[in-house]
Chain A
Amino acid sequence: MSGRLLLALSVAGAAITGTAAALVLFAHGFQPYPPAASLAQVATDGIWITAGLIAWRCRPGNRVGPLMTALGVVDLARQLYWDSGLAFAVAQIVTSFSIPIAVHLFLAFPSGRLATRFDRAYVASVYTAALLLAPVGQLVDDPRGPVCPRCPDNPLLVEGLRAAAAPLQTAVAAVLATVLLVTTGLLVRRVRRASGPARRTLAPVLISSAVAVGLLLAVGVMSATGRRVEESPVLLIADAAFAAIPVAFLLGLLSTRLHRSAVADLVVELGTMPGPAVLRDAVARTLRDPSLRLAFWLPEGERYVDADGYPVEVRAGTGRAVTVLDHDDERLAALIHDASLLQEPGLVRAVGAAASLALENARLQAELRAQLDEVRASRTRIIEAGYAERRRLERDLHDGAQQRLLGVRLALRLARSRLGGATEVDELLAEADAEVVDALDELRALARGIHPAILAEGLQAALAAIARRSPVPVQLNVCGDRLSGPVEATVYFVAAEALANIAKHAHATYARIDITRADGWLRVAVSDDGVGGADPDGAGLRGLRDRVEALDGRLRVETPPPGGTRITAAIPCA
């Protein structure tokens, strides 16, 4: 809001107040109260009206402004004692509505809406009570009396009902006390349930109100004990406290305007096109809601995901509310935020608008991650299926062909022993046995290539076995943890292929296998002291790379400074 508009509204408020003050002072009617007290109350009403107009202008969609203005106007009616008895009576009735308006205002602050059905029903009943009791009161209430000897005649007064005046006043007092208690109770409950930001907004209003009500009660006590309260300074202080309440209301609303300037900062911050996580933090900061969650809409999957692509359930809960952010009629994302932010729908929308481009960008990133997760999951399933299939194949070979060939060897051996010694047939049988032994060796190598059965005993035993078969001495440093089948098989094949390469090409005198596990990664390093020069794009190493990367791992082939070759595979393992 511009300074000029603020000035204009202030002038308008002051003009209304000044007019009212003039009417109080110079009206050729009467003066029920001392001028000082009346002027103080008029000034208070003026502040209500001015603050209300400013609030109205700042937040046109918010009822807080109109309610504040109405409260000032209605209360002002009390100060204006018209010559006409009818006007006086009507002013009395109008003034009675300051109670329901005040209740409405307190319960609706700062959103301008009544949050619960109970709140709405309660406020409606207070309005109804005023509507019923105020006119009825004018039927029985004779303003003239010791308090106001110069008050005009009440034309609505029904003489026959005079007797009802005292009980009615008692009833009105009871209703007022009830309203005060219930309203206080509702506000206390609201403060207790409110989150941090909501409490900060409510605090100034509630504190100034508590002070004012406290002072008013003191005035009531003084009045009941027979003192003349009209001239007491306590009344003036109470008026001052009441004057502070509209200021507190306005400050509460202005503080939400401060949030809006944070939107400008957000726009600048989002110029750098941050990732989804940074975007969430920036939005949370702007809305002053650290618990805020950002869910990105995936149009294809028709679901929400978080910054990492994981599905998110988007629904309002206790103290939580959901605001869906759109851009060009397309759903972009949803904010799951503190329910108190609902009181500032404009702010949330402004943040959404400011963030829309970055949101679109972040949404695409989140979508990409979600798709990547799906691809990873399906790849893992394929790998595990392949692993299971290999194990089955190896078992079939072991339990079928290998056992049969061993049976053949036993039969050959039996035949030779039955033949009893060195004959030509025995030689033939011995040759046949040698063939079977070769076939068994080949079959065993084949089975091992498909799936090393010794892996059932763990990586340690399996690697010890290949280390023993290696012509180059191998030192093993293996952590003893059991890992998933595919990971163990992959590590085994990395070590086996690397050792085979070392035996064939490296001219090494020494090799070592180091397996460590840290930070969710399994690292296997096979190094030698040979001539180096391994070709990372050779068929063997490429096959290894595929195996390792299929598990989301990385394979590196390097020639460290002193010489030799080092093959390192890092595989994630939870």
Chain B
Amino acid sequence: MRVILADDAVVVREGLARLLTDQGVEVVAQAGTAEELVRLVAMDPPDVAVIDIRMPPGYTDEGLRAAREIRERVPGVGTIVLSQYIDVEYALGLVTGTSARVGYLLKDRIADVAEFVAALHRVADGGTVVEPSLVEELLAAPAARDPLAVLTGREREVLALIAQGKTDHGISEELYITRKTVEAHVRSILAKLELPADANENRRVHAALAFLRAVGARWPSR
């Protein structure tokens, strides 16, 4: 596993690098700006780029734009964007026009190194990772017109777990149901959301994205 870290805060970048190295992750390069990151990734593409959203010069969403640029220019590279706070728009902006190899996590998650390394692996393997608290809060938030209203309560739970990047196995453990039941739920969800039921991996990604788009649709885009 080869990663590049991008964060203008050296203390965070170095700390994370040492932590990841200890966990057997190879940190091949570090960048302090979005520009530098894009250049480093293009020169020597890693498996995953870990990117802080707020970076110089504007300290707004430079990291997000860098992630998009990387996906366009070096498609095989996974991107995990770290944010100080939850933003549906960020999450949607990240998954727009893509189907995989993306992650969106609160920056605090990097201190939970085992979970974070797992997330790196999921993204490197072609999956998506969405901040769990975002998923929970989206589900908890009341909405007048809920595009997910067609789903049963249990189906919504399953979909939320898919969006978080959980495997069928993980979901069956989490919800104390058999894997067969999980698969049945997934099939039902895809049918109800009118998603193409093709290859297994793509299907999961589709479901996760469908979830994000569906909940994101409650917040009309600006």
Q: A residues bordering B, Cβ < 8 Å?
A: 395, 398-399, 402-404, 406-407, 409-411, 413-414, 417-418, 433, 437, 440, 444, 453-454, 456-458, 460-461, 464-465, 467-468, 473-476, 478, 480-482, 510
Of the residues B11, B19, B59, contact of A404 by C-beta under 8 Å: B11
Give the CA-CA distance A414 to B12 in the complex, in Å.
12
**Which residue among A402, A414, A444, A481 has the maximum number of chain B CB atoms within 10 Å of its CB?**
A414
Cβ A398 vs Cβ B113 within 8 A = no
Asked if B12 and A410 make an inter-chain contact with CB atoms under 8 angstroms apart, the answer reads: yes
Contact across chains for A475 and B144 when beta carbons are under 8 A apart: yes
Whole-angstrom distance between the Cβ of A511 and the nearest chain B Cβ:
10
A433-B111, A440-B108, A464-B141 given; name 10 further pairs at CB < 8 Å. A399-B9, A406-B110, A410-B111, A414-B22, A417-B19, A456-B61, A460-B220, A460-B222, A474-B141, A480-B222
A403 to B, closest residue via Cβ: B9
Our pick among A404, A413, A454, A476 for the contact of B113 (Cβ within 8 Å) is A413
Cα-based distance from A475 to B141 in the complex (angstroms): 8
Q: Does B72 contact A (CB under 8 A)?
A: no
What residues of A have a CB within 8 angstroms of the CB of B142 in the complex?
Answer: 473-475, 510
Chain B residues near A437 (CB, 8 Å)? 108
A456 touches B60 (CB 8 A): yes
Q: Do A417 and B113 touch (CB < 8 A)? A: yes
Does the CB pair B9–A458 fall under 8 Å? no
Q: Is B88 an interface residue (CB 8 A)?
A: yes
Q: Is the CB of B89 within 8 A of A414?
A: no
B143 contacts which chain A residues (CB < 8 A)? 475
B6–chain A nearest beta-carbon distance, Å: 14
Contact between chains at A457 and B87 (CB < 8 Å): yes
B183 at interface, CB cutoff 8 A: no
Q: Which residues of B from 5 to 54 have beta carbons under 8 Å from A?
A: 8-9, 11-12, 14-16, 18-19, 22-23, 54
Contact (A467, B87) CB under 8 Å given A399-B8, A482-B222: no
Q: Tell me whether A406 and B12 are in contact (CB under 8 A).
A: yes
Asked if B111 and A403 make an inter-chain contact with CB atoms under 8 angstroms apart, the answer reads no
User: Nearest-CB distance from A454 to chain B (Å)?
Assistant: 5
Check if B89 sits within 8 Å of A418, measured CB to CB.
no
Q: Is the CB of B84 within 8 A of A402?
A: yes
Asked whether B22 lies within 8 Å of A407 as measured between CB atoms, the reply is no
In the complex, A80→B1 CA distance in Å?
128
Q: What are the residues of chain B within 8 A of A481 when measuring CB–CB?
A: 222
Most buried by B among A403, A461, A475: A403
Closest B residue to A448 using CB positions: B85
Are the CB atoms of A473 and B141 closer together than 8 Å?
Answer: yes
Q: Whose C-beta in chain A lies nearest to the C-beta of B13?
A: A407
Residues in A whose Cβ lies below 8 Å from that of B54: 398, 453
**Complexed CA–CA distance, A457 and B219 (Å):** 13
Given A454-B87, A465-B85, decide whether A403 and B11 contact each other with a Cβ distance below 8 A: yes
Question: B198 contacts the other chain (Cβ, under 8 Å)?
Answer: no
Q: Which residue of A lies closest to B138 (CB)?
A: A468
Q: Which residues of B contact A406 (CB under 8 A)?
A: 9, 11-12, 15, 107-108, 110-111
A480 interface neighbour in B11, B141, B220, Cβ under 8 Å = B220
A399 to B11, alpha carbons, bound, how many Å? 11
Q: How far is the CA of A482 from the CA of B11 in the complex (A)?
A: 35
- With A404-B11, A413-B113 known as contacts, the answer to whether A468 contacts B141 (CB < 8 A) is yes
List B contacts of A404 (CB < 8 A).
9, 11
- Distance in Å: Cβ of A488 to nearest Cβ of chain B: 12
With beta carbons under 8 angstroms apart, the residue of B9, B15, B107 that contacts A411 is B15
Known contacts: A414-B22, A468-B141, A480-B222. The answer to whether A461 contacts B9 by CB under 8 A is: no
**A465 cross-chain contacts in B, Cβ below 8 A:** 85-87
Task: Evaluate contact between B220 and A468: CB separation under 8 angstroms.
Answer: no
Q: How far is the CA of A482 from the CA of B85 in the complex (A)?
A: 20
Contacts of B200 in A (CB 8 A): none
Q: Is the interface of A mostly helix, strand, loop or mixed?
A: helix
CA distance A41 to B168 in the complex (A): 122
A453 in contact with B84 (CB, 8 Å):
yes
**Identity of the chain B residue whose Cβ is nearest the Cβ of A476 in the assembled complex:** B219
Question: Which residues of chain B come closer than 8 Å to A409, judged between CB atoms?
Answer: 15, 108, 111
Instruction: List B contacts of A474 (CB < 8 A).
Output: 141-142
Task: Chain B residues near A444: list those with CB within 8 A.
Answer: 84-85
Encoded as 1 (CB less than 8 Å from any A CB) or 0, chain B from 97 to 138 comes to: 000000000011011010000000000000000000000010
- With contacts A398-B54, A440-B108, A468-B137 taken as known, whether A407 is within 8 angstroms of B144 at the C-beta atoms is no
Given contacts A468-B137, A473-B141, contact A410 B19 (CB under 8 A): yes
A517 vs chain B, min Cβ distance (A): 13
> How far is the CB of B25 from the nearest CB of chain A, in Å?
13
Question: Are B90 and A457 in contact (CB-based, < 8 A)?
Answer: yes
16 contacts between A and B (CB under 8 A): A399-B59, A403-B9, A406-B11, A406-B12, A406-B108, A410-B111, A414-B22, A417-B113, A433-B111, A444-B84, A456-B61, A457-B87, A457-B89, A461-B219, A465-B85, A474-B142
Q: Are B15 and A414 in contact (CB under 8 A)?
A: yes
Q: Assess whether B19 is in contact with A454, with CB atoms less than 8 Å apart.
A: no
A458 touching B111, Cβ below 8 Å: no
The answer to whether residues A480 and B59 also contact, given A409-B111, A475-B142 and a CB cut-off of 8 A, is no
| Residues of A contacting B86 in the complex (Cβ-Cβ under 8 angstroms) | 465, 468
In the complex, which residues 72-87 of chain B have their Cβ closer than 8 Å to any Cβ of chain A? 84-87
Q: How far is the CB of B214 from chain A (nearest CB, A)?
A: 15
Whether A461 and B88, one on each chain, are in contact in the complex, defined by CB atoms closer than 8 angstroms, is yes
CB distance from B27 to the nearest CB of A (A): 13
Contact B15 A464 (CB under 8 A): no
Roughly how many angstroms separate A437 CA and B108 CA in the complex, as a whole number? 9
Q: Do A454 and B108 touch across chains, with their CB atoms under 8 A apart?
A: no
Contact of B110 among A410, A418, A461 (CB under 8 A): A410
Minimal beta-carbon separation of B122 from chain A (angstroms)? 20
For A467, the chain B residues whose CB sits under 8 A away are 141
CA distance A110 to B88 in the complex (A): 77
8 closest A-B pairs (Cβ-Cβ)? A410-B15, A407-B11, A403-B9, A480-B222, A473-B142, A468-B137, A409-B111, A407-B15
Contacts of B18 in A (CB 8 A): 410, 414
Residues of A within 8 A of B84 (CB): 398, 402, 444, 453
A382 to chain B, nearest CB (A): 25
Query: Cα distance A411–B12 when bound, in Å?
Result: 9
State how many angstroms separate the Cβ of B110 from the closest Cβ of chain A: 7
Mask for B137-154, Cβ within 8 A of A = 1, else 0? 100111110000000000
Which residues on the A side are within 8 Å of B8 (C-beta)? Answer: 399
Q: Which residue of B lies closest to A433 (CB)?
A: B111
B87 touches A461 (CB 8 A): yes
| Chain B residues, CB < 8 A from A480 | 220-222
Closest to B88 in A: A464
| Bound-complex Cα distance A474 to B143 (A) | 9
